[in-house]
Structure 1
Amino acid sequence: MKNSSAVTSPPYLSLFLLLLLPSLAQSSDDLIDKICQSTPFCDLCEASLRPLSPSPSDPKSLASAMATVVLGNMTDTLGYIQSLIKHSHDPAAERALAQCAELYRPVVRFNIPQAIDAMRRGEFGFATYVLGDAEKQADSCQKGITNAGADDESSVAVTDRNQLVKNLCDVAISVIKPLMKGH
């Protein structure tokens, strides 16, 4: 009899696991819904977090994932700005773009990676400060582009990218703030 029960219990275990796995995925989706609803850009938050695999399963990992999204976006924007500098023929636009690169470079190379590490240690205040500073750097970049008077497609693209960085920073900060309060 012992052998027959051993043979029949694995299918029950498999069935149990099959029933449990969707509920685990659902709880992750519910957490993303709940957290993203509290951000200023809910759709952007969800679009940033839902494609991640594995899906973040707790508020701390969601916050870290959101900061990583900011880092990826800023890294991409810095690369774009650097490519525009190489192809620029307008000295004023080139200076503005070079200023943007100087503003983005330390944030991408040092600040946000340090903020992500700080979050792993539970230092959420530092991470919030760094992301707020990253937002200010994108804003300063934008002011330089606007003051240069550049009105071509590349300046519009940098404007759009700066706005996306600022929005992503707002979302990341909104995701981190409840962690500072112990929620």
Structure 2
Amino acid sequence: MKKSSAVATPPFLSLFLLLLLPLLAQPSDDLIDKICKATPFCDLCEASLRPLTPSPSDPKSLASAMATVVLGNMTDTLGYIKSLIRLSHDPAAERALAQCAELYRPVVKFNIPQAIEAMRRGEFGFAAYVLGDAEKQTDSCQKGINNSGADDDSSLALTARNKAVRNLCDVAISVIKSLMNGR
């Protein structure tokens, strides 16, 4: 009888390797790292994309995921604006907040969902344009808040939210542009 030259692997070692391999091979983390380093807010990009499950594994899904993060934040900010309108007792602040709601509403309901769908079809230029427009709407909202003279805690919180949305739009546009440039 001929002896086999193969070495028998203990079963626990095979199981250990099967469990360890997925942790060692995380190409999406490398992709997230690579893409996020090319954005203006690397930490914000990574904080937005790393917690997603399943983790986006290609540039197209990263861009779509980032646009979805923008949509979530804008939706949350629109809800916050609506709550501020209900609580407002200052007519000038109420008008500014109503203007913000009117700026955010179409972006949340139509524009960004259209941008996400456009990315699925490979229309990245259109998606970047829409996200740039969303950023402009956020800036317009902020100008209205600044001009209203409101300087209470709620307007400061809205300013912080507008800034966060603006930065997320910058990141999303940057991710889309890297996708368009083949990086």
Give TM-score, length-normalised by structure 2.
Answer: 0.90
In the TM superposition, residue 19 of structure 1 has moved relative to its aligned partner by 4.0
Runs of 5+ unmatched residues, structure 2: 1-8
CA distance in 1, matches of 2:155, 2:122: 38
State the alpha-carbon separation in 2 of the partners of residues 115 and 174 from structure 1. 14
Alignment of 1:143-154 (within 5 A): 143-154=143-154
Tell which deviates more after alignment, 57-66 or 100-109: 57-66
Aligned pairs, number: 177
Q: 1:73 maps to what in 2? A: 73
Query: CA RMSD of the aligned region, Å?
Result: 2.0
- Structure 1 residue 102 displacement after superposition: 0.1
- 2:22 maps to 21
Cα distance in 2 for partners of 1:116, 1:13 equals 42
Q: Residue 48 of structure 1 aligns with which residue? A: 48
Quote how far apart the aligned CAs of 1:177 are: 0.3
Q: State the partner residue of 2:123.
A: 123
CA distance in 2, matches of 1:24, 1:109: 38
CA distance in 1, matches of 2:40, 2:54: 25
Q: TM (normalized to structure 1)? A: 0.90
Matched letter for residue 171 of structure 1: V
Alignment of 1:137 with 2:127, yes or no, is no
Aligned residue identity for 1:121:
R
> What is the Cα deviation at residue 180 of structure 1?
1.6
Structure 1 gaps of 5+ residues are 1-7
* Displacement over 4 Å in runs of 4+: 10-16
* Separation (CA, whole Å) in 2 of partners of 1:42 and 1:175: 11
Measure, in 1, the Cα distance between the counterparts of 2:21 and 2:126.
Answer: 37
The one-letter amino acid of 2:95's match is R
